[in-house]
Structure 1
Amino acid sequence: MTTAALSAETVKNFLYASTATISMQMLKRGFRNCAIGGIKPLNPKATRLVGPAYTLRYIPGREDLDKPPTPADPPSAQRKAIEETPAGHVLVVATEGNTRSGTLGDILALRLKVRGVAGVLSDGAMRDTPVIGKMDWPVYSTAAAAPPSMANLHPVEVQTPVGICGVPVYPGDVIVADEDGAIVVPRHLADEVARDSFEQERLEKFVAIRIGQGREIPGVYPPNDQTKADYAAWIKAGEPAEWPK
């Protein structure tokens, strides 16, 4: 388990590539269960999310343990996550799919944003979604709910493996999200997957230019030797938006 930051190069490469591209790179490495579906960004204008996972796990709540908070309450796993998720990381919140209560509200989300946390991804619900949805900050969840977390949930631990929508997430795994959903990349593969995703995304931009010019798929996608040579020339020319037919 690591809380080390990703290199600037790896973050840049992941941000350049779509989750669709990254999923193909993961499939090439034999990973089929790494795509988290069923989650949506609260702010459609703040969708790109990249960072190592810091996990928070909830279980169903119990009435004698989960009550409205007071200043005298001992530290909880939730408050630990709010104050200790490192800057640049993604807070991954697992609820076993319980959407009866919001896992976080606008105040806690704002605290995470101010602390430099990259964003939040949860298989549960969020509350105060009209406010969070206006933040220029990515928050992904499966639903909205008015009740606070303690109405139906109990925070039990941080930085342990969790399951999000059927996908395992280990602390330190890299989360990459956009409008298609999220991809989980094991930390030890992050640098190479980011590098190869960047290259695939760049190649596909050139392929799209060729297809838009009327080229047929065979020989272009996947590229034959001629297309590869044309692609190299396109890169050397500065990757222009248009290219001679």
Structure 2
Amino acid sequence: MSNVQSSKLSNVGFRVVKNIERVSPKIIEGFKGIATPNIGDVMGRMFAMDHSIKSINKPGIHMVGSVFTVRTHPGDNLLVHKAMDLADPGDIIVVDACGDMGNAILGELMCHYAKTKGIVGYIIDGPVRDLHGISEMGYPVFSKGGTPRGPYKEGPGEINTVISCGNVPVKPGDVVVADDDGIVVIPKEDAENVLEKAREIQAKEKMVIESIYNGTWERSWVDETLQKKGCQIID
């Protein structure tokens, strides 16, 4: 291994990667208005974060953006503060805090600052505080819950390395979509293809709804499936 490569790997667990590759803004814009279930179905019903990470906002939040990852020691937010200074407008800061619920990873003041930077929102595999204030300001935050206990600022941690959040692998520059149903992560290398197929599903669902109300929804598949499975139907 060269000295250059060795130096890049010498501080594993406490390092910051500043520059990442993102998908085009056009693709990210395309996911706006597409519900997470439609996107999840495209990806084999995979890549959906655990249900314990959910919106702390009032119903109606739909968040779309490019992933900016943070791996932090449980109960510590030093690297989250650094991420706020580095993230680009349109990014969503996704934090792997190991699911620990001991100390809040962020609060209302950090949300106000992130909002001024154009950061779209936060996803935290851990708790936050100031839930009422964050909800009232309408800034998108998804977390495992709340606690009044504040964080430490000691480190270690990493920025823009591969993390796990809600039992899903997340890479810097992936696309994330989050709404009232939950959170899906779209691998950046698949984003364009997933967007195209999610649009097809969305259009198909609109047609199904129309057929429901005009009485033409085809339902024969239900009995056909039951028959294939060996179900006995008794009059």
- TM band (smaller chain): 0.7 to 0.9
In the alignment, the residues of structure 1 paired with residue 58 and residue 221 of structure 2 have an alpha-carbon distance, to the nearest angstrom, of: 33
1:119 corresponding residue in structure 2: 121
Pair 1:93–1:174, CA change in 2 (3 A): same
Pair 1:123–1:85, CA change in 2 (3 A): same
Letter in structure 2 aligned against 1:206: M
In the alignment, the residues of structure 2 paired with residue 46 and residue 105 of structure 1 have an alpha-carbon distance, to the nearest angstrom, of: 21
Cα deviation, residue 188, structure 1: 1.1
Say which of 43, 47, 60 aligns to 1:34.
Answer: 47
Cα deviation, residue 16, structure 1: 2.4
Pair 1:33–1:210, CA change in 2 (3 A): closer
Q: Is the 8 A contact 1:91 1:121 kept in 2?
A: yes
In the alignment, the residues of structure 1 paired with residue 94 and residue 202 of structure 2 have an alpha-carbon distance, to the nearest angstrom, of: 26
Pair 1:154–1:143, CA change in 2 (3 A): farther
Q: Is the 8 A contact 1:123 1:164 kept in 2?
A: yes
Cα deviation, residue 155, structure 1: 5.0
Q: Is the 8 A contact 2:124 2:144 kept in 1?
A: yes
TM-score normalised according to structure 2 size = 0.78
Which deviations, in whole Å up to 9, do the C-alpha atoms of 1:32-75 show, x marking residues without a partner?
541012222111245211111101111236xxxx7xx9xxxxxx
1:242 corresponding residue in structure 2: none
1:72 corresponding residue in structure 2: none
Cα deviation, residue 220, structure 1: 10
Instruction: Return 5+ residue gaps in structure 1 as ranges.
Output: 70-75, 222-245
In the alignment, the residues of structure 1 paired with residue 212 and residue 113 of structure 2 have an alpha-carbon distance, to the nearest angstrom, of: 46
Which deviations, in whole Å up to 9, do the C-alpha atoms of 1:101-123 show, x marking residues without a partner?
11111111111111111111111
2:197 corresponding residue in structure 1: 196
Letter in structure 2 aligned against 1:42: I
2:226 corresponding residue in structure 1: none
Pair 1:154–1:2, CA change in 2 (3 A): closer
Say which of 18, 25, 29 aligns to 2:42.
Answer: 25
In the alignment, the residues of structure 2 paired with residue 60 and residue 87 of structure 1 have an alpha-carbon distance, to the nearest angstrom, of: 26
In the alignment, the residues of structure 2 paired with residue 46 and residue 140 of structure 1 have an alpha-carbon distance, to the nearest angstrom, of: 13
2:101 corresponding residue in structure 1: 99
1:50 corresponding residue in structure 2: 64
SS at the partner of 1:38?
A: coil
Q: Is the 8 A contact 1:45 1:136 kept in 2?
A: no
Pair 1:101–1:82, CA change in 2 (3 A): same
In the alignment, the residues of structure 2 paired with residue 198 and residue 219 of structure 1 have an alpha-carbon distance, to the nearest angstrom, of: 26
In the alignment, the residues of structure 2 paired with residue 21 and residue 127 of structure 1 have an alpha-carbon distance, to the nearest angstrom, of: 31
Letter in structure 2 aligned against 1:123: D
Cα deviation, residue 77, structure 1: 1.9
In the alignment, the residues of structure 1 paired with residue 156 and residue 216 of structure 2 have an alpha-carbon distance, to the nearest angstrom, of: 55
CA RMSD after TM alignment:
2.4
1:240 corresponding residue in structure 2: none
Which deviations, in whole Å up to 9, do the C-alpha atoms of 1:171-205 show, x marking residues without a partner?
11111111111111110111121122112102211
Instruction: Return 5+ residue gaps in structure 2 as ranges.
Output: 1-18, 223-235
TM-score normalised according to structure 1 size = 0.75
Letter in structure 2 aligned against 1:174: V
State, as a whole percentage, how many aligned pairs show the same letter.
30
Residues matched between the structures, number? 203
Letter in structure 2 aligned against 1:166: N
Q: Is the 8 A contact 1:3 1:52 kept in 2?
A: no
Q: Is the 8 A contact 1:106 1:131 kept in 2?
A: yes
* 1:115-194 matches, cutoff 5 A: 115-150=117-152, 154-194=155-195
